[in-house]
Amino acid sequence: MSTVAASLLLSSLLPLSPVSMASAKGAPQSNQFWWPDQLDLSPLRHDAGSNPLGADFDYAKEFKTLDLKAVKKDINDLLTTSQEWWPADYGNYGPFFIRMAWHGAGTYRMGDGRGGADGGQQRFEPLNSWPDNASLDKARRLLWPVKKKYGCKISWGDLMVLTGNVALENMGVKTYGFAGGRADDWQPDLVYWGPETKWLADKRYSGDRKLDNPLAAVQMGLIYVNPEGPNGNPDPMAAAKDIRDTFGRMAMNDEETVALIAGGHTF
């Protein structure tokens, strides 16, 4: 086979080869990039898919043995048990826990299905250090007594979402209920969160503010939009465009977006 023929054959096969979204849009930044002095513990893991609960651990089976009413009661009691080291605003941690739950779920994007509450990734870098997630480590610390009590019967991913539900119910909101099944991850997921190399930068836009796919958030380190407006510019029309684009990429329509923004900021 000639060199030209071989090249043509190879070219014809390339579109069929799997190409990751990250490589198509730029490689995701590793945690070592953001924290160069961080100790790399990955060599200690024999298998990327391993977890400390063992290969035979079945989370769905464990979850079925959980007394969900008891867990909800413990969370409900926790809401109004203010701690000296991080006092509850107005005697109730409800709004704080709702923010934690939403910021866990709110990283989801339709473009590639990445993000979301599954896996409990909020526990790991870079999400746990995003500017938008400031102080949520305290929310998870407040939940530790509940997690410790029920152990592997409820994952961090499920516990954070359930806590948000209980907080809403505690304040009189009727929820649709709760569905468990979010098995925990045990290491940070390598996700393309954007091309930026600085927190809160927004090099993800091109042309007439066209947001790069598969991204949804407007800036590196934010869950969704800049509350001060695009790049801090308090222009309501420009902000509305960003809001519709970002939340649309998170699988939310206008009505759901209004309910989230208006309802989520009434505390």
Name the active-site residue from 25, 99, 103, 123.
103
Residues 6 or more apart whose CB falls under 8 angstroms from that of 257 comprise 243, 244, 247
Alpha-carbon Rg for the chain, nearest whole angstrom, is 21
Contact call for residues 177 and 193 (beta carbons, < 8 A): no
Residues 48 and 50: their CA atoms lie apart, in Å, by: 6
d(CA 239, CA 261): 13
pTM to 2 decimals?
0.86
Q: How many other C-beta atoms are found inside a 10 Å radius of the C-beta of residue 85?
A: 7
pLDDT at site 267: 67
CA dist 125 and 121 (Å) reads 8
Note the pLDDT of residue 9: 38
Residue-level pLDDT at 45: 74
Determine the pLDDT at residue 133: 98
Residue 103 is a catalytic residue: yes
Q: Tell me the two tokens of residue 256.
A: 């759901």
Residue 136, pLDDT score: 98
Separation CA 141–CA 195 (nearest Å): 31
**Spatial separation of the C-alpha atoms in residues 93 and 100, rounded to whole Å:** 11
Per-residue pLDDT of the chain (267 residues), as tens digits, is 444 444 433 333 333 333 334 434 568 888 989 999 988 887 877 776 678 898 899 999 999 999 999 999 999 999 999 999 999 999 999 999 999 999 999 999 999 999 999 999 999 999 999 999 999 999 999 999 999 999 999 999 999 999 999 999 999 999 999 999 999 999 999 999 999 999 999 999 999 999 999 999 999 999 999 999 999 999 999 999 999 999 999 999 999 999 999 887 776
* CA pair distance 231, 59, nearest whole angstrom: 42
What b/e readout covers 173-206, taking b as 16+ CB neighbours within 10 angstroms? eeeeeeebebbbbbbbeebbbbbbeeebebebbe
pLDDT at residue 178, rounded to an integer: 96
pLDDT of residue 22: 40
The backbone torsions φ and ψ at residue 210, rounded to the nearest 5 degrees and listed phi first, read: -95, 120
Using CA atoms, how far residue 264 sits from 95, 104, 107, 238, in Å, is: 8, 14, 16, 21
